[in-house]
């Protein structure tokens, strides 16, 4: 299987345009603002962060 890479900004744009939808069974948002900021900082610095399932 070939690997596919996406930019986070492209995923956000697709979410905003409705091309990607979060299923209704998705659990609620559990991170606070500080945790989100640290996660985005990690992405910005190029640290590995696992995978996003689409």
Average pLDDT by consecutive 10-residue portion of the chain (54 residues)? 84 88 73 88 86 63
Asked whether the beta carbons of 10 and 51 are under 8 A apart, the reply is no
In the chain, domain spans? 8-45
Six-digit token pair at 16?
């905003």
Instruction: From 1, 4, 2, select the one nearest 52 (Cα to Cα).
Output: 4
């Amino acid at each position: 299987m070939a690997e596919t890479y996406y930019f986070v900004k492209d995923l956000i744009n697709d979410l905003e345009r409705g091309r990607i939808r979060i299923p209704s069974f998705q659990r609620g948002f559990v991170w606070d603002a500080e945790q989100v900021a640290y996660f985005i900082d990690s992405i910005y610095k190029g640290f590995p962060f696992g995978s996003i399932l689409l």
